Structure 1
Amino acid sequence: MLAIIPAAGFGKRMSGLTRGRAKELLPIHRRHMIDYALEEVIGAGISKLLIVISPRKEELKEHLTTEWSRRPPLLSFIYQNEPLGLADAIYRCRNYIENSMFAVLLPDNIFIGNPPLKSLIDVAKKYKKSVTSLIKVKDVEASYFGNCGGVEVSQYNGEIFEVKKLEDKKPGSFSTRGKPDVLRTFPRHIFTRELFEYIDRLRGKTEGEFDDVPVLQEMVREGKILGVLVRGKAFDVGSPEGYRHAESCLKSRR
């Protein structure tokens, strides 16, 4: 199986911390942010990895080729020359995908514990459907997550759910809306090649950057996505608040 890590975004929210560098190279508990994603890929037994970068992120490519080139997975790079959105970044990889399924993981979200990808792969192969990971977010930690990923689900089989609704991405922070905890998607996915058909269907129908959320919402409306509840500690490190929270939590776990 092949995995895709989209890493072409400029990370405007993190500019105060990055000072012009790639946010994926920010240190988190003695490692670079993107290293957590690569370790997940290795833990899932994935042999090939495509990393989508922009021409402004050559230092990221240099880090990866220097630190990871002698270890699996096999690394390849694809360029997204303009900030055209996450759906566009994934779509650029379509001709490199040989199998019927592939993984996508965002490096500005990190997971501590058993890597979610392995269990997602097992479910995707069993049910022949696209699968996303679900995490349980507590009210006291909701503000450290971006305001996206809210879902409505129905139980499918044990800790496997059918995703019935995916909420829009909005400004601000995530909220449990007064509940002690709620389910939320976490950006670890296994997709069938059917994803590209949905991207083709919606291309040109959205304003600005072509984000993945409208594509996933269309798939959800047609019953194409399952969710798997994953166990472990998840962090959204794509904002200064989330980044500092992750740093604090990981230091305290020593």
Structure 2
Amino acid sequence: MKPIRKAIFPVAGLGTRFLPATKAMPKEMLTVVDRPLIQHVVDEAREAGIEHMIFVTGRNKGVIEDHFDKQYELEATLKERNKTTELELLAADTPAAGMTSFTRQQQPLGLGHAVWCARDIVGNEPFAVVLPDVLVLNEPGCLKQMVEAYSKQKDKANIIAVEEVPMDRVHMYGIVGVGKEAGPSMPITRMVEKPKREDAPSNLSITGRYILQPEIFDILENQQTGAGGEIQLTDAMITLSKSQPFYAVKFEGRSYDCGSKLGFLTANVAYALNRKDIAGELRAELQQLLG
């Protein structure tokens, strides 16, 4: 099978749940500790061996493109002030020439449509989709675990990251039914978008990470709108599953839904506590706040 070299990052959303913070700044640039959300997921993709980052953007998202570009004035100032550590940090985070591409999703027509917008850049090869709203704290990262599971498949396969959620919350997610576990992955027998509790095939939710075959683009091109009047990626995957196998990877680590205020704040605490340079002082501050 072809290796996974490209990843799509859908970043065209309006971020209305974080207004007014996102009135003039993309939600993907909100920071968890000292790194923007989008940088965290790009780091995860690079760890997994992704060579080409494809950002599907919308209006007022130019700062994301700027973030992954060189800033000569800033670098010159840091050099003059002998800020070697900061210069090395910027250099490590800046993708090499040709490693990033940007395309527009002119209308907010859903995740499936955003993925379809990147079809010509991806071409005829398997690819990953990484949602910046979802952070997964673990080493190795979630996508690397998925790539390793993908490499063990003998035929064309599609991989979805899943995790358990309480049954009273299954109506909030895409849910999969699975067969018997085989190594790090489980064959998916059913996919349902936001089912009622009584209709859910399990409590395993789709968690913002996908490895998909390029045939999904032909399906998305003619995909009818689904839940919320949007073109749903899950609906297209259900169609593709009739001709290609799908597997679920129950990844190691904890996910944080940074599309919600509580998830975003929790992620900040969790990632900070995972940092040796600030964990001790933060833990003391939290203990004092909690009494």
TM interval, short-chain normalised: 0.7 to 0.9
Residues 1:44 and 1:205: Cα distance change in structure 2 (over 3 Å)? closer
Instruction: Tell me the residue number matched to 1:194.
Output: 215
Alignment check: 8 A CA contact 2:16 2:22 kept: no
**1:36 paired to 2:40:** yes
> 1:169 aligned to 2:194?
yes
Question: Which is further off, 6-15 or 103-112?
Answer: 6-15
* TM-fit CA distance, 1:40: 0.8
Q: Does 1:238 align with 2:259?
A: yes
Partner secondary structure for residue 193 of structure 2: coil
Q: Percent identity?
A: 24
Structure ranking higher in strand proportion: 1
Q: How far apart are residue 210 of structure 1 and its match? A: 1.6
Structure 1 equivalent of residue 285 of structure 2: none
Name which structure has the greater RCO, CA cutoff 8 Å, separation 6+: 1
In the TM superposition, residue 70 of structure 1 has moved relative to its aligned partner by 4.4
1:94 and 2:122 matched: no
The equivalent residue for 2:144 is 118
Structure 2 CA distance for partners of 1:33 and 1:188, relative to 1, 3 Å: same
Shift of 1:245: 2.2
Alpha-carbon distance in 2 for matches of 1:16, 1:218? 39
Shift, 1:59, TM fit = 1.6
- How far the C-alpha of 1:30 sits from its partner, in A, is 1.8
User: CA deviation digits over 1:16-46, x for unaligned, max 9?
Assistant: 4434320001111221111111101110111
SS at match of 2:172: coil
Give distance in 1, aligned partners of 2:100 and 2:111.
20
Q: Is the 8 A contact 1:131 1:190 kept in 2?
A: yes
Q: Secondary structure, in 3 states, of the residue corresponding to 2:69? A: helix
1:2 and 2:1 correspond: no
Q: Report the 3-state secondary structure (helix = DSSP H, G, I; strand = E; otherwise coil) of the residue aligned with 2:132.
A: coil
Hey, what's the Cα distance between the residues in 1 that align with 2:173 and 2:125?
Answer: 28
The one-letter amino acid of 2:51's match is S
Q: Counterpart of 1:248 in 2: which secondary structure?
A: helix
Question: Does the CA contact (< 8 Å) of 1:49 and 1:73 recur in 2?
Answer: no
TM-score normalised per structure 2: 0.73
Whether 1:77 aligns to 2:81 is: no
Q: Residues 68 and 95 of structure 2 are in contact (CA less than 8 Å); yes or no, is this contact kept in structure 1?
A: no
2:66 counterpart (62, 66, 69): 62
- Which consecutive unaligned segments of at least 5 residues does structure 2 have? 71-89, 280-291
CA distance in 1 between partners of 2:217 and 2:173 (Å): 22
Q: Taking structure 1 as reference, are residues 38 and 73 closer, same or farther at Cα in structure 2, changes over 3 Å only? A: farther
Gaps of 5+ in 1: none
Letter in 2 for 1:160: S
The count of corresponding residues between Structure 1 and Structure 2 is: 245
